Amino acid sequence: MIPTRNQRTIADPAVVRGIGYWSGRDVRVEFRGAEVDCGIVFIRDDLEGCPRIAASVANRTETPLRTNLQSGGATVEMIEHVMAALAGLQIDNCQIRVNQPEMPGCDGSSMPFVEALLGAGIVEQDAPRTQRVIRRTIRLGNEESWIEARPCCSSKTILQYELDYGSGSPIGQQTLDIVLSPKSFCNSLAASRTFVLEHEAVAFQARGLGRRATCKDLLVFGAEGPIDNRLRFPDECVRHKLLDMVGDFALAGCDLIGRFLAYRSGHRLNAELVRAVMAEGKCCKGLKRCA
């Protein structure tokens, strides 16, 4: 672990409201500043005792198509876009008070959270942020989907994703790599939205999920492309996969330095790689409970 920058938090509270894609419930999220070494902590204000859930890979529970956390009997769900916004802006310490388990889907991207956090202001704190440098290649998965961490000659975080839905799909093949920084995250990833194929959306709603979400709330791909919506980037889908990687990697609780490559991977493999990286050598500095 080598400190390379100071930790950061937000200057003022910020609020984001929306509906949960899966539950259809109205959700209010309030971001508050937190002291040094607090990390990111979710607080369920709607539950007795306001239980706290640290944003750690140790608290992740396996759930298809999203990233959920659990501590004791309390859960928070679909946190990846919130975590991506915080990590992308290099906000290391933050309390997130919520009145529902699921985070609001908003427009399917991290941009509503980014805008709220930037509006609150970001302040540097008088303590170093730790990092974990990739020293050897770690590869997980199989030929159909895999993720890999490699050493890098620079002190940067470089992400690459190869998306492949096949030549007959409206999404097709897309590849993108990016050197992660607050500027590159805001310009290239934050606005990219969740996407599903039309038959997947129909199946979700048949199960009673996503009843309040529409084709204008996220990208639903029909045979000819997005239904009742327009792409923000020609390769928006692969950009969103990179956004998800940023959010899932934030569960390490420190900056990950190296080159990270993924082929058709998702939240599960992202988390498994974080666990494997954190198992290498000493763990990050312990986080203390926030007041």
Amino acid at 77: E
Q: Is the sign of the CA dihedral 127, 129, 130, 135 positive or negative?
A: negative
90-118: b (≥16 Cβ within 10 Å) or e = bbbbbbbbbebbbbbbbbbbbbbbbebbb
Which helix (H) or strand (E) segment holds residue 147: the answer is strand 146-150
From 217, 101, 121, 237, select the one nearest 169 (Cα to Cα): 237
Q: Do 163 and 238 meet the contact criterion of CB atoms below 8 Å apart? A: yes
Residue 267 among the catalytic residues: yes
**Which member of 81, 199, 240, 267 is catalytic?**
267
Half-sphere exposure of 163 (CA within 13 A, CB side): 22
From 82, 108, 113, select the one nearest 239 (Cα to Cα): 108
Catalytic (active-site) positions? 267
